[in-house]
Chains A and B, each alone.
Chain A
């Protein structure tokens, strides 16, 4: 494989892995605090829609980002209300979020823009700049390696920085210790006089913010506008990556990078001629899923979820 296509695959990997990293970290906070969240997909979708709609209405990508975060926060609040305050089943609440997002985005989109659930195409300042760092340093024609490192949308770097930040927050701060404890043994946290409900709401809110960024990246950086169901299952892939990563931030980054790489390879090499026979395009496209299953079944070792995950906390009387 020549050097240029190798670089191109890496570049593609970074682009494709970024929404996964956001979503995977989002799930990490929520699940570490004991609230399972299969509604990542729905929150990304609603954020992608709100971001594109607000960006189109105001002409500003930043207003769009805030709107995306706001919409995802709202959906996170619904999930929190159902599963923390009212102690409902977290999985059912998550599924409901996904359905709600899938339907609501199309209905609102059709009503507002009359394009059958799409937003109008975004142009200019309504989208994230392609390579703000290169612009900042005044590099107009970067060599491929510089382009690979610095030539990405700003949210890519936000996602990358969030990984060490999350590791620090979870393992080096009091808040992180309590957050992890509330997912393992909420009764102990309660005994220590810390609010279980408050911590879990905080975790779910962080999940909302991160899903909002994932959605904003999808509709305003990767593409130019919202199309119905445009998240195309990435929320579920992020959940698989989270399990694969054993609920740890750095492993999250690696898992998402691997899944992004598999996706990028499938896009770049559709029919691979290895001399003896040609690997068909269908196999290449199924490879990410096959590997996911193999990895989850065989090589992951023991993935132990947070002990209190999925259970609403009931104070004993």
Chain B
């Protein structure tokens, strides 16, 4: 009985202190982990930038498994965090169920559309960014075979692969694009050993440029490519620095901007769908001193010309998720 009383007292105290810390924004990272050097790390970068500029504080949570999602969301919402940003499509269903219970809290979800009055859905046109790096891959390839390694096999990742394949074919119509996925469950984001093994398999099939869109698994792909002396392409964050001279470029997905914007808007977050496309600076390719020697002026000229055409609407990149087919390659 005494124990019960203590427990109740403690939880009441906890609820009080949680309520006192009013309206801090919060961010929830997906199972890939905050330091995946890729998607989640970009989100972390955005949150840190906001913290630096405003001097505010924010709460953060990392998911360890699928079952924690709803609990984490409710815990943050009840703790008074506002807005709550979450990275990853996997929060979609959970958020759809949780959002109506907290009408005064604003949510932002990245990579997924959730149709609720208090949710901002941020989606990127990865197909456009991947198209651009696909063009670079085709121009850098000597064997006319290039590879793509996705993480978990979901339509979103196929969108990356499909955009990439279209970019490759636009430059070299006769080139071969090998499209592989790491797996079908969450561990596919965190399996560098398998990523490296797939990269070796693609290399043995002739690939000399490999694009990894696979979260933590990509670390293994980039490592294997560097070991084998072939080129790789990073994703989401700028990964050029990881193996200078081996990473051709990185497909940038400005998740950091999305998180930063959401935090900045604060409680006044506008609900609705926010498409971060090439025009809005949501996607692009990375250039810095680590890959300057690998990218020729001819490549940047061609890619920038294509980018201008995409922005103007003259060139339309097929979006895999619009009809679940890819004209340029077979998964």
**Chain A residues with a Cβ under 8 A of chain B:** 4-5, 8, 12, 15-16, 115-118, 121, 130, 218, 222-225, 227-230, 232-233, 264, 267-268, 270-271, 278, 281-282, 285-286
Range class of the B interface residue count: 20 to 34
Known A-B contacts A8-B204, A130-B227; A223 and B196 likewise in contact (beta carbons under 8 Å):
yes
Contact B190 A223 (CB under 8 A): no
B205 and A116 form a contact (CB under 8 A): no
- 1/0 contact string of B304-316 vs chain A (CB within 8 Å): 0000000000000
Nearest A residue to B44 by beta-carbon distance? A116
Beyond contacts A222-B193, A270-B331, A286-B184: 15 other A-B pairs, Cβ-Cβ < 8 A, are A5-B205, A8-B200, A8-B201, A12-B200, A16-B197, A115-B35, A116-B62, A117-B33, A222-B196, A223-B219, A223-B223, A224-B223, A267-B198, A282-B153, A285-B183
Alpha-carbon separation in the docked complex, A230 to B204 (Å): 24
Q: How far is B62's CA from A130's CA once the two chains are assembled, in angstroms? A: 35
Could you tell me the distance between the alpha carbons of A23 and B32 in the complex, rounded to whole angstroms?
26
- Interface flag for B151 (CB, 8 Å): no
For A264, what are the chain B residues with a Cβ–Cβ distance below 8 Å?
197
Nearest opposing residue in chain A for B41, CB measure: A116
A121 and B34 form a contact (CB under 8 A): no
| Residue in B34, B184, B201 whose beta carbon sits within 8 Å of that of A267 in the complex | B201
Interface residues as binary, B204-239 with A (CB distance below 8 Å gives 1, 0 otherwise): 110000000000100110010001000000000000
Please tell me if the beta carbons of B204 and A4 are within 8 angstroms of each other in the complex: yes
Q: What's the A-B contact tally at a CB cutoff of 8 Å?
A: 78
Shortest 4 CB-CB distances between A and B: which pairs?
A: A116-B35, A8-B204, A223-B192, A222-B193
Residues of chain B within 8 A (CB-CB) of A224 are 223
Partner of A232, one of B187, B198, B330: B187
Residue from A12, A117, A268 within 8 A of B35 (CB atoms): A117
Given the complex of chains A and B, what is the CA–CA distance between A130 and B229 in angstroms? 13
Measured between C-beta atoms, what is the minimum distance from A13 to chain B in Å? 10
Q: Chain A residues near B184 (CB, 8 Å)? A: 282, 285-286
A268 cross-chain contacts in B, Cβ below 8 A: 201
Chain A's nearest CB lies how many Å from the CB of B147? 11
Most buried by B among A16, A118, A227, A278: A227
Choose from B193, B204, B205 the contact partner of A223 (Cβ within 8 Å): B193
Q: How far is the CA of A117 from the CA of B216 in the complex (A)?
A: 12
Within 8 Å of chain A (Cβ to Cβ): is B181? yes
Contact B194–A12 (Cβ < 8 Å): no
- Output the least CB separation between A42 and chain B (Å): 16
Residue of A nearest to B195 (CB): A223
State the Cβ distance, B239 to closest chain A Cβ, in Å: 12
B166 at the interface (CB under 8 A from A): no
B204-A229 in contact (CB<8A): no
Contact of B242 with A by CB under 8 A: yes
Interface residue? B191 (CB, 8 A) = yes
Q: Which residue of A is nearest B223, CB measured?
A: A224
Q: Are B197 and A227 in contact (CB under 8 A)?
A: no
Compute how far the CA of A225 lies from the CA of B205 in the bound complex, rounded to whole angstroms: 26
Whether A218 contacts B201 by the Cβ 8 Å rule is no
A45 CB to nearest chain B CB (Å): 12
Asked whether A230 and B201 contact (CB < 8 A) given A116-B34, A271-B330, the answer is no
Task: State whether B33 touches A232 (Cβ < 8 A).
Answer: no
In angstroms, Cα B185 to Cα A84, docked, is 37
Contacts A116-B34, A118-B35 given; does A230 touch B197 at CB 8 Å: no
CA distance A278 to B183 in the complex (A): 18
- Judged by a CB distance under 8 angstroms, whether B180 is at the interface is yes
Q: Which residue in B181, B183, B190, B220 is a CB contact (below 8 Å) of A228?
A: B190
Q: A15 contacts B197, CB within 8 Å?
A: yes
Nearest-CB distance from B242 to chain A (Å)? 7
Complex Cα distance, B194 from A230, in Å, reads 10
Contacts of A286 in B (CB 8 A): 184
B35–A271 touching, CB < 8 Å: no
Instruction: Give the residues in chain B near A228, CB-CB below 8 Å.
Output: 33, 190
A233 to B331 CA separation, bound complex (whole angstroms): 26
Q: Whole-angstrom distance between the alpha carbons of A16 and B197 in the complex? A: 9
Nearest-neighbour CB distance to chain A for B47, whole angstroms, equals 14
Knowing A117-B33, A130-B227, the reply to whether A218 touches B197 (Cβ < 8 A) is no
Cβ-neighbour of B331 out of A121, A223, A271 (below 8 A): A271
Chain A residue nearest to B185 in the complex (CB): A285
- A118–B219 Cα distance when bound, in Å, is 11
Give the CA-CA distance A229 to B180 in the complex, in Å.
Answer: 22
Q: In the complex, what residue of chain A is closest to B34 when comparing beta carbons?
A: A116
Closest to B228 in A: A130
Cα A232 to Cα B196 with chains together (Å): 14
Which of chain A's residues have a CB closer than 8 A to the CB of B200? 8, 12
A271 cross-chain contacts in B, Cβ below 8 A: 330-331
Known A115-B35, A224-B223: A232·B190 in contact at CB below 8 Å:
yes
Shortest distance in angstroms between B190's beta carbon and chain A's nearest beta carbon? 6
Complex-state Cα separation, A267 to B191, whole angstroms: 13
- Taking a contact as CB atoms closer than 8 A, the residue among B187, B198, B227 that contacts A233 in the complex is B187
- How far, in angstroms, from A222 to B221 measured CA to CA in the complex? 11
Query: Is the CB–CB distance between B194 and A232 below 8 Å?
Result: yes
Minimal beta-carbon separation of A40 from chain B (angstroms): 16
Instruction: Name the residue of chain A whose CB is nearest to the CB of B191.
Output: A232
A270 to B331, CA, bound (A): 8
* Residue interface mask B262-276, A partner, CB < 8 A = 1: 000000000000000
| Minimum C-beta distance from B41 to chain A (A) | 8
Please state if A116 and B331 are interface contacts (CB–CB under 8 Å): no
Nearest chain-A residue to B183 (Cβ)? A285
Shortest Cβ gap from B60 to chain A (Å) = 11
**How far, in whole Å, are A258 and B196 apart by their CA atoms in the complex?**
20
Contact B223 A12 (CB under 8 A): no
Q: Looking at the assembled complex, report how far the CB atom of B39 sits from the nearest CB atom of chain A, in whole angstroms.
A: 13
